[in-house]
Structure 1
Amino acid sequence: KMLGRVGILRAPLRAAVSSAARNATRPQFFAPPAALAPLSCIGRRNMSLSDLGTKEVCKIQETWKVVEKDMDTHAVKFYQTMLEMGPPIKQLFINRNEYGYFPEDSEVGLKRHSIDVMVMIGHAVAGLNDLKTIEHELRELAARHAKYGVELEHFPIMGDALLLTLERELGDKWTPEVKAAWETAYQAVREIMEPTLAAEHKLLTEYKSSDYMRPEKPHVD
């Protein structure tokens, strides 16, 4: 019952991710920059997606269209940046395939997963017009990723990597207003996902330490 509470992505989102991963042309990894400084964009609390006005939502969705024009390239740049900013995150993706695992240090696997993540971000961006639905899906996403070992400490790294990638790729379209809108959105996403992630980690820990998971003692006549 406990494991049954671990959420999964809704079917339409799973289908979109699988389709994009199958059809995407796999690019080569880009060399990481010499130095990466976190943007420290995460700090404000008590925010929600409803804090985004129509103008901010439009800015986010319009700038995301630039990313969607070359999803493969931007996905790999985002992941390369994230792994450079937080090397421990790489351990989350070792040995994963479409069922959860792929060969160790598999470049193909990392690139495929980078596409999956960008598709999910795009789904969330599109969902800013339907907050009730997207908030539900974000909680399911958090529950699912608790099983994969995602921790609360990974959120700032992922956020900084995403914003740094957007800043580099958008050029002069990355205005202070656009940056502020993305920061607000990401912080709100964190505040939706983090409680669920923490709760699922607690649930999984309790399950693993329960009598059900302990090996049975050998029967002695």
Structure 2
Amino acid sequence: MNDSEITLIQESFAKVVPIKDAAAEIFYADLFETAPEVKPYFANSDMKEQGSKLMATLGVVVNGLRDLDKIVPVAQQLAIGHVDYGVKAEDYGKVGASLLRTLEKGLGEAFTPEVKSAWTTAYGTLSSVMIEAAYPE
């Protein structure tokens, strides 16, 4: 990720923060509709609380993109912990697709091709690190 991509991600996420509860609802509705096989991972979850955790985690990651050395180990531990919930490597792509659709819905016209590309790069970078940590060969 380059500096301009990080700036695009941080500026676009700042626009999501005021609607974070709605964004979390949109995200999980999209995820469960497009990838219903992941819904059992959340069977015992309070989805409002889960949405708050999601948005808080995204906030930490987005704010830390200029210091990946601190973010990557946290992301790796998060991924390792998610294995116990049954999360599989292929689920990361489904989550990423739902994240992009959520951003598109939440940001509207502000979700430009450049913003989409920046988010795609960031998610791809972090999810690959997470997958490698959780599912070592």
The reply to whether TM is greater than 0.5 is: yes
2:69 aligned residue: 132
Kindly report which structure 2 residues correspond to 1:1-221, keeping only aligned pairs within 5 A, or say none. Answer: 52-96=1-45, 109-199=46-136
Instruction: Provide the C-alpha distance between the structure 2 equivalents of 1:83 and 1:180, rounded to a whole number of angstroms.
Output: 24
User: Which protein has greater RCO, CA pairs closer than 8 Å, 6+ apart?
Assistant: 2
Aligned counterparts of 2:114 and 2:21: Cα–Cα separation in 1: 26
Question: Residue 77 of structure 1: CA displacement?
Answer: 0.9
Q: Structure 2: which amino acid aligns with 1:56?
A: E
The list of structure 1 runs, each at least 4 consecutive aligned residues, that deviate by more than 6 angstroms after superposition, is none
Deviation string 1:123-177 (CA, Å, 9 cap, x unpaired) is 1111101110001111111111111111111111100000001011111111111
Q: Deviation per CA, 1:23-44: give whole Å up to 9, x if none.
A: xxxxxxxxxxxxxxxxxxxxxx
Cα drift, residue 122 of structure 1: 1.4
Q: 3-state SS of the aligned residue for 2:128?
A: helix
SS of the residue 1:69 aligns to:
helix
SS in 2 for 1:150: coil
TM-score normalised per structure 1? 0.60
Shift, 1:95, TM fit = 2.1
Deviates more, 1:85-94 or 1:140-149: 140-149
Q: CA–CA distance in 2 between the matches of 1:172 and 1:58?
A: 17
Percent identity over the alignment?
36
Q: Name the CA distance, whole Å, in 2 between partners of 1:156 and 1:84.
A: 15
Which runs of 5 or more residues in structure 2 are unaligned?
A: none
Q: Distance in 2 between matches of 1:131 and 1:95?
A: 32
Report how many residues are paired. Answer: 137
Deviation at 1:81, TM superposition (A): 0.7
Tell me, in whole angstroms, the C-alpha distance in 2 between the residues paired with 1:190 and 1:149.
16
Instruction: Provide the rounded CA distance (Å) in 2 between the counterparts of 1:132 and 1:68.
Output: 24
* Greater gyration radius: 1
Distance in 2 of aligned mates of 1:77 and 1:191 = 24
Q: Distance in 1 between matches of 2:85 and 2:101?
A: 25
Segments of 5+ residues of structure 1 without an aligned counterpart are 1-51, 97-108, 203-221
What value does the CA root-mean-square deviation take over the aligned residues? Answer: 1.2
Looking at structure 2, the residues matched to 144 and 88 of structure 1 have their Cα atoms a distance apart, in angstroms, of: 19
Q: TM-score, normalised by structure 2?
A: 0.95
